[in-house]
Copies of this chain bind each other. A is one copy, B any other.
Amino acid sequence: MAHPDLGNAPTPARALPAWLEDGRRWIEAELERVLPGPDEPPARLHQAMRYALLGGGKRLRPALVRLVARELGGRDEAALAPALALELVHTYSLVHDDLPAMDDDELRRGRPTVHVAFDEATAILVGDGLLTAAFERLAEEPAPRAAEHARVLARAAGSRGMVGGQALDLALEVTSGAPLSALEDMHRRKTAALFAAAAEMGAIAAGVEGARRRACAAYGLALGLLFQAVDDLLDVTGDAATLGKTPGKDAALERPTLVAALGLAGARARAAELAEEVRGRARELGFGPASPLHELSDFVLERPS
């Protein structure tokens, strides 16, 4: 497949595949229930947590847990807690990354960021509360799986994973001309680690262990790297209405991105390469072109936002 033409006008979106839309609906009904109600004290904090969590989003990580679990013969019920936990962790990371001391973003998913809509202290606490809620939800699962899922999630999300990736991103910001290896190490931690955890938790939910479980994690990692590569491309080629966030910001801030490192054509080629790796990993798992796990590479590559 040719890589997409991400020009100045956003690429028309393919119809969101049914399995992804279905996954989104499945998790959104549950997200509504996972947090304390908006009137429960401290009401303002809980309202802000709900604002952050329920404000839209593709819900790609929860859908991935469920897809992997299903493709491996697992039940949706077993995928639910890790799917919720992943979305809670992903959302907390957005809230903290958007803070003035971090990326200083005012727009997210088309709405004011939490520190703009509420205030900075509340945004810090919203992130802390969402992260804690993620592990609370996992701990409510049957015991052996609860600990297994928590181990995978904590490693992916912690200082060696996602949190470390954000630290590297902030450090690279002031380093002009970061080498590609440093950039992709940052992407691996900041974005791909959580995708890897999603796929691995899907395997755990399906009772799959050993080499096959590790192959799922490798699939998720490749998918996450692809997702981040496309994110870097979209910052250059997308528009605010489609993205729901401020485009062109990475370039304006001279942030380290694939586009900065490789140029637009080089970044597109790298994304196509990563998409091929995702398809290869899917085939390794025994999932051919008819499987959503195979098709996901196209979806991520062609996503409009």
Per-residue CB contact flags for chain A residues 58-94 toward chain B (1 = under 8 Å, else 0) read: 0000000000000000000000000000000000110
A143 touches B (CB below 8 Å): yes
Copies, count: 2
Q: Of A43-51, A260-268, A292-300, which stretch is located at the interface?
A: A43-51
**Interface residues of A, count at CB 8 A:** 53
Report the Cα distance A147→B139, complex, angstroms: 5
Contact A150 B155 (CB under 8 A): no
Q: Of A121-129, A225-233, A276-284, which stretch is located at the interface?
A: A121-129
Per-residue CB contact flags for chain A residues 109-136 toward chain B (1 = under 8 Å, else 0) read: 0000000000111101101110111011
Q: How far is the CB of A74 from chain B (nearest CB, A)?
A: 19
Contact B42 A129 (CB under 8 A): no
Report the Cα distance A158→B129, complex, angstroms: 5
Residues of chain B with a CB closer than 8 A to A168's CB? 41-42
Residues of chain B with a CB closer than 8 A to A92's CB? 128
Q: Of A5-13, A96-104, A213-221, which stretch is located at the interface?
A: A96-104
Q: Of A18-26, A159-167, A240-248, which stretch is located at the interface?
A: A159-167
**In-complex Cβ contact of A143 among B102, B136, B146 (8 A):** B146
Closest to A166 in B: B125
Contact A101 B121 (CB under 8 A): yes
**In-complex Cβ contact of A159 among B96, B132, B147, B159 (8 A):** B132
Additional A-B contact list (5), CB under 8 Å, known A122-B167, A146-B150: A41-B168, A101-B121, A122-B170, A129-B164, A135-B154
Chain A residues packing against B (C-beta within 8 Å) = 35-36, 40-42, 44-46, 49, 92-93, 96, 99, 101-102, 119-122, 124-125, 127-129, 131-133, 135-136, 138-141, 143-144, 146-148, 150-151, 154-155, 157-160, 163-164, 166-168, 170-171
